[in-house]
Amino acid sequence: MISEQHSAVSDTLSAGEENLGQWILHHSQNSDVWDPIPFPGWHIHLPVFEPFQLFGITIDLSITNHVVMLWIAGLFVIVLFMLTYNAKKKIPSGFGHILELLVLFVRDDIAIANMGEKEGKKFTPLLVTFFFFILMANLMGLIPAFSTATSNINVTAGLALITFGSTQVYGIARNGFIGYYKNLVPHGVPILLWPLMFVIELMGLLAKHVALTIRLFANMTAGHIVLFALLGLIIVFKTSLMSIVSVPFGIFVYFLEILVAFIQAYIFTILSALFIGMSVNPEH
Amino acid sequence: MLDLNPGMILWTWITFFAVFIVLYLVALKPMLTAITNREQGIKNDLESAQKQREEAEAILEEHRRLMAKADEDGQKIIRENQLLAEKTKQDILESARNESDKMIHQAKEEIEREKQSALNSLRAEVADLAINAAEQIIMQNLDQEKQKKVVDEYLKSMPKSLNN
């Protein structure tokens, strides 16, 4: 098994004439090929579209590896809910009960706790979708032949922009355009400091969502890099004895990754709830 | 690794919103409705249970009150009847005593009267007997004066011997 991996990896290395760092990056980066079977030469080439210009931005709608992973994650979430939750049953049983427990947790302890009763119930579906979608995308990187879409900064940026959009749209809808941006500045600030404070708060608003993006992206990327680096030690030291250290550590990091996948999905959801709650109810 | 790719962001949005809408329609809407309905049902059940309990307690209280009242009434009736019975008993005893006294008195009077009449008739009888005896004596030609004296003496001695 180890020698198989070894040969597979050295094949990849010799074929691509890459060094170890590039090899690790290759595995966590987006690409237009998907190799469901971890052998060299077994690739599925995904469709590549010609980038086009829109409002001066180059948009490349090629269906890449991570797009496929997102689709699979989304599909898996939908199928999971459809198969295990039966709305006709008054009290759910089995896995449907676990799902309901999680949905209830998101509703009561994330949405209502951070937004209040009325807004919390309104935003529960969005937050539940955030949680399960991100969780699935995170966990998929731990399954061979799949990769983590959330280790692509564009995906996490897209998700964080949904949160950002929600905060702006609902904050303005609730407090009015002027009222919302006026509430960005904390109460009790002297009038002379208002322009300065407004700029600082605006930057803080953006920084919060950039942090949301980077946090998920960095956590998901780091775990995979550590995992690959540990296994890469076998190549670096050019001896299979290294696997005595690398494989147990790799397994440990793998389980840590499962934990991190849950924690990051939870953190993303709770921070989204917090940000939306803060913009909708600025007094709190 | 950190280069931004608007196409990827667009794909993220498309995928996420597709998943969101489908998930909402397929699972989340019925699930959240079911949860809300169940919570409402439990709340209603609890409220109605509380209400029923309060009602039951009020009824129990009312029953206790009624029972206490009935008990009191019963005691009162028993006391009244005891008093009445005692009075009736006294009355009956009184009247019986009076009646018996009267009867004894009557009987005594009757006896007295009977005795008197018996004495009278006895006296008449004795007088007749004496007259007959006197006639017998007269018939035997005894001295009238002497005989009469003898008879009178005899008669006088009679009541003494029949002294009541």
Kindly determine whether residue B32 and residue A107, on different chains, have CB atoms separated by under 8 Å.
yes
Helices (H), A47-176: 65-84, 95-105, 113-115, 117-140, 153-175
Chain A residues in contact with B13 by the CB 8 A cut-off are: 158, 161-162
**Is B25 or B92 the better-scoring residue by pLDDT?**
B92
- The pLDDT of residue B161 is 53
Residue with structure tokens 């969502």? A209
Handedness of CA B97, B103, B107, B113 (dihedral sign): positive
Least trusted range by pLDDT, from A60-69, A131-140, A155-164, B55-64: A60-69
The minimal CB distance from A161 to the residues B2, B9, B30 is found for B9
**Is A120 a residue whose pLDDT tops 90?**
no
The residue extents of the domains of chain B are 49-161
- Largest CA-CA distance found in chain A, in angstroms, rounded: 71
Task: Respond yes or no on whether ipTM tops 0.85.
Answer: no
CB A23 within 8 A of CB A13: yes
**Is A112 a residue whose pLDDT tops 70?**
yes
Chain B residues in contact with A58 by the CB 8 A cut-off are: 6
CB A168 within 8 A of CB A202: no
Q: Which of A204, A171, A195 has the alpha carbon at shortest distance from A283?
A: A171
Asked if B25 is an interface residue toward chain A (Cβ–Cβ < 8 A), one would say no
Report in angstroms the alpha-carbon separations of A87 from A101, A127, B27, B40, B42. Answer: 14, 20, 8, 17, 18
pLDDT in tens, B76-110: 999 999 999 999 999 999 999 999 999 999 999 99
Asked if B9 is an interface residue toward chain A (Cβ–Cβ < 8 A), one would say yes
Least trusted range by pLDDT, from A82-91, B62-71, B100-109: A82-91
- The pLDDT of residue B135 is 78
The minimal CB distance from B19 to the residues A100, A129, A161 is found for A129
pLDDT in tens, A228-242: 888 888 877 777 777
Asked if B42 is an interface residue toward chain A (Cβ–Cβ < 8 A), one would say no
Chain A residues in contact with B30 by the CB 8 A cut-off are: 87
Asked if B23 is an interface residue toward chain A (Cβ–Cβ < 8 A), one would say yes
The pLDDT > 90 percentage for chain A reads: 2
Chain B residues in contact with A159 by the CB 8 A cut-off are: 12, 16
CB A111 within 8 A of CB A266: no
Chain B residues in contact with A165 by the CB 8 A cut-off are: none
Chain B residues in contact with A154 by the CB 8 A cut-off are: 4-6, 8-9, 12
Q: Number of helices and strands (H, E) in chain B?
A: 3, 0
- The pLDDT of residue A16 is 43
Asked if B122 is an interface residue toward chain A (Cβ–Cβ < 8 A), one would say no
Task: Give the integer Cα–Cα distance in Å for A225 and A28.
Answer: 8
Residue of B nearest to A90 (CA): B34
pLDDT in tens, A19-59: 667 666 666 666 666 666 666 666 666 666 767 777 767 77
Kindly determine whether residue B26 and residue A82, on different chains, have CB atoms separated by under 8 Å.
yes
Position A34, amino acid: W
- Give the mean pLDDT of A262-280: 88
- The pLDDT of residue A17 is 44
Q: How confident is the model at residue B55 (pLDDT cuts 50, 70, 90)?
A: very high
Give chain A's domain count. Answer: 1
Asked if B10 is an interface residue toward chain A (Cβ–Cβ < 8 A), one would say yes
**A186: containing domain:** 2-280
- The pLDDT of residue A149 is 79
- Give the mean pLDDT of B30-56: 90
Mutate to test the interface with A, among B2, B12, B45 (most CBs of A within 10 A): B12
Q: C-alpha angle A272/A273/A274, rounded to 5°?
A: 90
